[in-house]
């Protein structure tokens, strides 16, 4: 995978999670630490999958 495409894919993924978090956060009254931790764990799993695939 070319470097430019790899970077773009990572940015698209991060943008997706940012939008997802903001949409979900707007639907609840308060965000607790567990919600934020779950969100970052999920985002990190996706980024890890991308990183391993890009490295191949």
* Mean pLDDT for back-to-back runs of 10 residues, the chain (56 residues): 81 90 84 87 90 80
- pLDDT given at position 26: 85
- pLDDT given at position 19: 92
**pTM of the full structure:** 0.68
- pLDDT given at position 1: 57
- pLDDT given at position 41: 93
Alpha carbon distance 43, 12 (integer Å): 12
Alpha carbon distance 8, 14 (integer Å): 10
């Amino acid at each position: 995978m070319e470097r430019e495409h790899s970077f773009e894919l990572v940015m698209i993924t991060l943008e997706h999670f940012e939008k997802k978090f903001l949409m979900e956060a707007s639907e609840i009254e308060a965000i607790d630490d567990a919600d934020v931790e779950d969100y970052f764990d999920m985002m990190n799993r996706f980024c890890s999958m991308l990183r391993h695939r890009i490295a191949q």
